[in-house]
Amino acid sequence: MTSLAEKLHLSTSHGHHGGSSTITTKDGTKIFYKDWGTGQPVVFAHGAPLNSDDWDAQLFYFGSHGFRVIAHDRRGHGRSSQPWDGHNMDQYADDLSELIEHLKLTNIILVGHSTGGGEITRYMARHGTRRVVKAVLISAIPPHYGALIPKALFDGQRASILTDRSQAYRDSTVPFYGYNRPGAVASQGVVDKFWLMCIQGSVKAHYDTVRALSETDFTEDLRGLDVPVLVLHGLDDQIVPFEVSGKLSAQLPKKAVLKTYEGFPHGMHTTHADVINADIFAFITGQTV
């Protein structure tokens, strides 16, 4: 049966893809990645300090709707190597470029959540958009999230990582998914998975990434984009507030569409996966499910 993506003449990749594997970057870092399905490639970049498992709901959904889905663990995170150096947006973007080149991907949809939104933005700024047709920013840190948030907050995050990062991750789950809001029902499974993804990573990578996500300015990166960009942001995002990120990001690219969600949290691609998946699908295909 012909997939919807193929009917829309979007497919550029054929055949079976290899499940999960690793590449070794130029500096010797091993990057773990998943590569599932066939069709037009959708490449996902996760938030910090998580890993590619955070995209479970999206990988299954888009893989089941005729797309090839690729998601990697950023260096120092998940199942990738844990080097001492390289935990900055330029290197993250270069690692992503090496993965895309290795897989010979074209006609790509890039999707980034939180820090991953910065990663895909910097990738397009450093490596161009010749392989990219559209991009999606979900609860993302651009254009310059840290410039409008007190530095003391990030200093506190770094201190908590060094003091007791296991407890810090458990504590951060609550605002991440909006479980501190009236009427919210926390999923212990989501909480446990969040902690597990975090604790798999490197303390050095997580410490350095706080600086990368808070101090990197993506303003000119966004302004230079020439592909359509969908900006998705929850209005109750307690981690990356809409007013300092999504609202501003949507004003910079040449072709940007902003969609906001009343009451949705930072991790809305997990808590409201059905809504987010459908909106991304519509953006990619021009059709609703």
Instruction: Encode pLDDT of 250-276 as tens digits.
Output: 999 999 999 999 999 999 999 999 999
Task: Answer yes or no: 46 catalytic.
Answer: no
Answer yes or no: is pLDDT of 4 > 50: no
Give the confidence band of 84 by pLDDT, cuts at 50, 70, 90. very high
Which residues have a Cβ under 8 Å from the Cβ of 12 and sit 6 or more positions away? Answer: 40, 41, 106, 107
**Number of structural domains in the chain:** 1
Task: Answer yes or no: 237 catalytic.
Answer: yes
Answer yes or no: is pLDDT of 238 > 90: yes
Taking a C-beta distance cutoff of 8 angstroms, is the pair 76, 204 a contact? yes
Percent of the chain whose pLDDT exceeds 90: 91
Query: Can you give the pTM of this predicted structure?
Result: 0.93
Q: Point out the catalytic residue in the list 46, 144, 233, 266.
A: 266
Give the confidence band of 19 by pLDDT, cuts at 50, 70, 90. confident
What residue type is assigned to position 63 of the chain? G
User: Domain containing 187: what range?
Assistant: 4-285
Taking a C-beta distance cutoff of 8 angstroms, is the pair 177, 190 a contact? yes
The CATH number that applies at residue 103 is 3.40.50.1820
Question: What are phi and psi for residue 28, nearest 5 degrees?
Answer: 90, 10
Span 177-203, average pLDDT? 97
Terminal C-alpha separation, the chain = 17
Span 166-194, average pLDDT? 97
Question: What are phi and psi for residue 152, nearest 5 degrees?
Answer: -60, -30
Beta-bridge partners for 208? none
| pLDDT score at 261 | 98
Task: Answer yes or no: 52 catalytic.
Answer: no
Q: Point out the catalytic residue in the list 53, 221, 237, 279.
A: 237
Q: Point out the catalytic residue in the list 11, 114, 245, 249.
A: 114
